[in-house]
Amino acid sequence: MANNERIPNKFVLSFGGKELNIITGIPYQISNEKLCIDDCGESHGSCPRLATQHPPEHEHYFRQVFVIKGTSRSGRYKILVNGNYMDSWGGNVVDTKLYLSSFDNLPENPVYSRQIWSFHFATDFKNKEFQLQNEQNNYFLDTFGRGESSQISFWSTCQTPENENYSRQLWKFTPAFDYKLNAVVDNFKYTISSDMEKQKIKKTLHEDILDNLYSSAELIPTFDFPEELTNTYTFSFNESLEFISETKLITVIPFTSIEKEFNFKYSFEANEPITTEKKESYSIAKKVKVPPNSCIKAIDYVDFMKNIEIPFEATAEITAIVDRYKNNGTIIKNAKVDSDAIKLFLKENNFQGEIIGSEKNSVLVKVQGTFRGSYVLRTYRKLEDIVKVPEFRK
């Protein structure tokens, strides 16, 4: 993988192949008992230490921001901070220290295994606390209970929950990023029943009398009457989409052939309707032939759907924007993430919809809801003969 390529966003797998709730290629703070691993502003050959967790606005925040990078072997990973890799430095005795290396060792390098880590968990993996084992020495990262400013060491065995020193090996991965989820909802399928046609009403817009009674020539006037009418469209979803920052809906309005796009800068809570009112202009343009010695009434109508309520099923394509990393450890701000990261974000937001597919930078989910609306279906003109023979004029 070239240095300028993005680290793929994949679910991290445990030593036993279990899919964990952390992702490669996006940043985390790694902590034990609320103390974070901190590179102390140093680089190659230095030993990171434990430090108080910094917030994003802190000047030394990025000294505590790590990223996980996959290798060619399933369940084996590299972990780096500011372009430097966590490295056992060849130590294979208890209390050997953790180091940082500026070299990204390749598989053919005899010291490659010093930078390879596996993730273990003894209890609930959902809390993102893991034991980290180094492949070179098979030891586990351990604080030895020394507290703030101390170096991080290795212990030869994997402590179990019953052991009093178990917590010394628990490393919590806290997301060091904010993400923004967006959704484009289309492919609407409406469940339309026959009685819905009864909610269609007809309104009269204009009436015009075209008087050609006293002329022997044909009259051909052209009419173009614009009319501004208000259409109301309401959407609600059975599944909560309150974690979505921006939602775009693309749908053909029921009982019409008109496709419309709706953009919402706020979230949909479950079963909470959001209404859009649109004032739209309609025009009836038509030439009317009025024969000699006749009079015609021209009536403009609008067919209007009033208070319709229709269930629907649709497909939502969800994307996410977050800071992600290149292979060389540099950050790409506000970049689209890969589908595994989106799946994790959906899981963490308790999304209840069905995932039906994924692409490189998006996840497809099935959503259901209800459309409600009062809107124009069509405008049209009808002509009626009034008088064909003129009355005698004194």
Mark whether 158 and 302 lie in a shared domain. no
At residue 141, the pLDDT reads: 98
Q: Which residues is 357 bridged to in the sheet? A: 364
User: Quick one: average pLDDT of 11-34?
Assistant: 95
Q: Poorest-confidence range of 91-95, 223-227, 277-281?
A: 223-227
Q: Which of 184, 300, 311 has the alpha carbon at shortest distance from 254?
A: 311
User: How would you classify residue 307: left for phi > 0, otherwise alpha for psi between -120 and 50, otherwise beta?
Assistant: left
What's the CATH code of the domain at 15? Answer: 2.80.10.50
User: Quick one: average pLDDT of 4-9?
Assistant: 92
Which of 175, 207, 241 is where one domain is finished?
175
Indicate whether 88 belongs to any domain: yes
Residue 295 has pLDDT above 90, yes or no: no
Residue % of the chain over a pLDDT of 90: 69
At residue 391, the pLDDT reads: 54
Residue 2 has pLDDT above 70, yes or no: no
User: Quick one: average pLDDT of 341-363?
Assistant: 94
Neighbours of 327 (CB within 10 A): 17
Residue 164 has pLDDT above 60, yes or no: yes
Tell me which residue range forms the domain holding 231.
181-313+370-387
Residue 214 has pLDDT above 90, yes or no: no
Dist. CA 139–CA 154, nearest whole Å: 6
- Residue 147 burial by Cβ neighbours in a 10 Å radius (0-12, 13-18, 19+): exposed
Half-sphere exposure of 338 (CA within 13 A, CB side): 14
Mark whether 146 and 191 lie in a shared domain. no
Structural domains in the chain (count): 2
Mark whether 161 and 208 lie in a shared domain. no
At residue 190, the pLDDT reads: 96
Mark whether 202 and 290 lie in a shared domain. yes
Q: What does residue 265 show for φ and ψ, rounded to 5 degrees?
A: -95, 10
Is the Cβ–Cβ distance between 348 and 171 less than 8 Å? no
pTM of the model: 0.85
Number of residues that make up the chain: 394
At residue 388, the pLDDT reads: 58
Mark whether 149 and 55 lie in a shared domain. yes
Residue 125 has pLDDT above 80, yes or no: no
Mark whether 156 and 188 lie in a shared domain. no
- Residue 6 burial by Cβ neighbours in a 10 Å radius (0-12, 13-18, 19+): middle
Is the Cβ–Cβ distance between 227 and 378 less than 8 Å? no
Mark whether 208 and 144 lie in a shared domain. no
At residue 289, the pLDDT reads: 83
